Each structure stands twice: as C-alpha cells, then as structure tokens.
C-alpha cells in the first residue's frame, strides 16, 4: 500500500511517499480502515520538524497525520461482529476519527489500524463531495469542544473575541460559543474572510485593514470582552490581555503557550486539553449533519502533494481545512 513517512526531522521535503508499505495488522481492540481522506493540521508540521513536544522520543521513520475518514474493512480479534455492530463499526461502514494522543502512528496511508474507541460512524448517506470535511472534523472539533465546553466557561450574555475566526478551529469555535450562550462573538481574520466569519454568526474584525484592538474597543463601547479564545497566540496573546473586561479570561490554544503574563496580572488564563471520546465524536457528527457546524474545506490535494500542503500550513492564513485525498 501507499503511505507517507519521514525518516528525519526537517522541512516538508522529508515527507516521502512509499508505495511498498506493509498493510498493518490490527491489534485485538483495533479496526482496520481503508482511508479515503486525511485532514491536515499545524500539529502535523510541528511534529515533522521536531518542534512539538509530541516529537520527543518519536521513533523514526514515522508516519504523519492525526485525523481521517474512510471505510471499515476489518477488525482485530477482540472485536467480533456483535461488538462491531454495537459500536456501529461493521465492515463497510464509513467512519471518521482521530488517533489518541498516545498513539503516534500516522493516518496518511491507504490502510490504517486504529483503536475502535477513536472512531465514529458517519451517519446517513453523504454525497461524495462532502466526504473530505469529515476527515478534517475530528481534531478541530475536539479542540473546539475542549476550548468552549471544558475551559472557557462561557456564560449566557457574554461577549467573546476569537482570534482566527476563519481557520479550521475558528470555524467551529464561533458556532459553539454561540451555542454556549454568548450574546456577541467578535472574530479576527483577513478582510477576504469577513463574509465567511459573518456567515458563521460572528462580527468580523479585519486585522489587515484596521487596528483590531481599537476595533474591539469601538465595538464594545470601551468595555472590552469577557472571553478571548486565541488560536494564534504569538502576535495576539499579549495585546488581548488589554481587551478583557473586568473579570475576563483568556484561553490560548497552543499547548506550549506561556500564560505567565496573564497570570501575573491576575487574569484567568488556561490552555485546553483535548479529551477524546465517542460521545464527543458523535456530537460533532450530529452538529455537522444538522448544519450547526459548517466546517469548510478550502482545498483537497492528492496524497503525493503532501509536502506542498505542509508548506501552505506553515505559511499560515489557511481558511478552513486542507485535506489530502489518499485515493489520488
């Protein structure tokens, strides 16, 4: 089968397409999946270049990618037909999911073995053109749930500022913040993405056209916001502290974010921790099917163009999700 691997840390050029990879044998509690699409995330290039903590002690050569969608084609010895049926994971079922944090294997391969606990069925009949976004749903979706539901504590009537409203995570943070009770959601992004941010239910702030801090003050009549959800961090975290109303709080999404500047000022600051689970995957499935989480896929690239896809991720400003077509 075909699989993407890298044998050293470095730039996108270290990613290599191998056409002679062995089909994995599933462990007793694992499902064998024929991958159709693989979602791409900044975490992928941070592991590839060695800058992520998840690259520590990673055994090379290694695969790449964390999330995918595909079709169940088999299962390990611990999962009989009845067990698979109770989980909705029988052979032939379309599924989506993400490897758990302690599973360092990649998903950019034609066939993968993955824990049954890390998968959920794709409900109903899905048009072929809609399948790519299921591959890009798990990581951003679980991140958004962890941010809004577990960490931010958004209360009814609050004002929320989201940095990166048109990005993959941002496009789910906006509707989830509104679901949680936010009265007003402001979201920064490039002017080219203003309409998309507006469609999601937020007020866009075009940082490439105006001073976003002044715009926050204008839109809140000088009060500031109750909550900041910061997907960018590096250029936005410190200035965001001055945009918080009294008692406001900030959530920085990068796992290595330094929260000390906020904590030293007595500002509540947290980093979300992704919590996997079938119940959360099912919630994402229900939300996307109902149209509440209209995650956008900006581009689908063939498996062999993964290096180009990583370059685009590193450039930043990606709208929605980039996805690999593993079949192409």
pTM, entire model: 0.94
- 61 upstream amide cis, omega within 30 of 0: yes
Give the model confidence (pLDDT) of 16-69 as tens digits: 999 999 999 999 999 999 999 999 999 999 999 999 888 889 999 999 999 999
Of 174, 152, 153, 178, nearest to 165 by C-alpha is: 174
The structure tokens listed for 38 are 């693989």
Q: Quick one: pLDDT at residue 245?
A: 97
The structure tokens listed for 263 are 């904590």
Q: Using CA atoms, how far apart are residues 186 and 184, in angstroms rounded to an integer?
A: 7
Cβ atoms of 253 and 169 within 8 Å: the answer is yes
Q: Quick one: pLDDT at residue 256?
A: 86
Q: Using CA atoms, how far apart are residues 103 and 301, in angstroms rounded to an integer?
A: 25
Q: Quick one: pLDDT at residue 200?
A: 97
Distances (CA, A) of 229 to 99, 159, 234, 272: 25, 11, 13, 10
Q: Using CA atoms, how far apart are residues 73 and 33, in angstroms rounded to an integer?
A: 6
Q: Quick one: pLDDT at residue 128?
A: 84
What backbone phi and psi angles, to 5 degrees, belong to 123?
-75, 140
**Alpha-carbon radius of gyration of the chain:** 20
Phi-psi region of 136 (alpha: psi -120 to 50; beta: other; left: phi over 0): alpha
For the chain, the farthest-separated pair of C-alpha atoms sits apart, in whole angstroms, at: 62
Q: Using CA atoms, how far apart are residues 248 and 34, in angstroms rounded to an integer?
A: 46
SS in 3 state form for 197-237?
HHHCCCEEEECCCCCHHHHHHHHCCCCCEEEEEECCCCCCH
Domains of the chain: 3-137+295-325 (3.90.180.10), 144-270 (3.90.180.10)
**DSSP type of residue 100:** -
> What residues in the chain have per-residue pLDDT under 50?
none
Report the C-alpha dihedral over residues 165, 168, 172, 174, rounded to 10 degrees: 0
Cβ atoms of 300 and 14 within 8 Å: the answer is no
Q: Using CA atoms, how far apart are residues 166 and 168, in angstroms rounded to an integer?
A: 7
Q: Using CA atoms, how far apart are residues 153 and 271, in angstroms rounded to an integer?
A: 13
């Amino acid at each position: 089968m075909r699989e993407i691997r890298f044998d050293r840390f470095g730039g996108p050029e270290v990613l290599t397409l191998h056409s002679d990879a062995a089909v994995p044998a599933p462990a007793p509690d694992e499902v064998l999946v024929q991958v159709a699409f693989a979602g791409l995330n900044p975490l992928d290039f941070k592991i590839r270049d060695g800058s992520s903590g998840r690259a520590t002690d990673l055994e090379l050569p290694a695969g790449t990618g964390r999330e995918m969608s595909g079709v169940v084609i088999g299962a390990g010895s611990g999962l009989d037909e009845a067990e698979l049926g109770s989980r909705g994971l029988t052979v032939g079922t379309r599924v989506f999911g993400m490897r758990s944090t302690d599973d360092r294997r990649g998903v950019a391969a034609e066939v993968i073995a993955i824990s049954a606990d890390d998968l959920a069925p794709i409900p109903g009949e899905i048009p072929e053109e809609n399948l790519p976004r299921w591959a890009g749903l798990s990581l951003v979706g679980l991140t958004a749930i962890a941010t809004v539901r577990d960490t931010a504590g958004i209360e009814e009537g609050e004002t929320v500022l989201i940095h990166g409203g048109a990005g993959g995570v941002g496009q789910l943070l906006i509707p989830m913040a509104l679901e949680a009770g936010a009265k007003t959601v402001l979201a920064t992004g490039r002017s080219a993405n203003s309409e998309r941010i507006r469609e999601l239910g937020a007020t866009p702030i075009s940082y490439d056209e105006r001073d976003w801090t002044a715009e926050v003050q204008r839109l809140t009549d000088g009060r500031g916001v109750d909550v900041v959800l910061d997907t960018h961090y590096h250029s936005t975290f410190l200035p965001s502290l001055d945009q918080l109303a009294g008692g406001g709080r900030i959530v920085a999404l990068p796992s290595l974010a330094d929260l000390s500047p906020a904590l030293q000022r007595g500002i509540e600051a947290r980093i979300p921790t992704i919590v996997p689970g079938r119940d959360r995957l099912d919630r994402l499935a229900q939300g996307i099917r109902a149209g509440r989480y209209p995650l956008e896929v900006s581009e689908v690239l063939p498996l062999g163009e993964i290096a180009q896809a990583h370059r685009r991720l590193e450039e930043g400003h990606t709208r929605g999700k980039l996805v690999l077509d593993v079949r192409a």
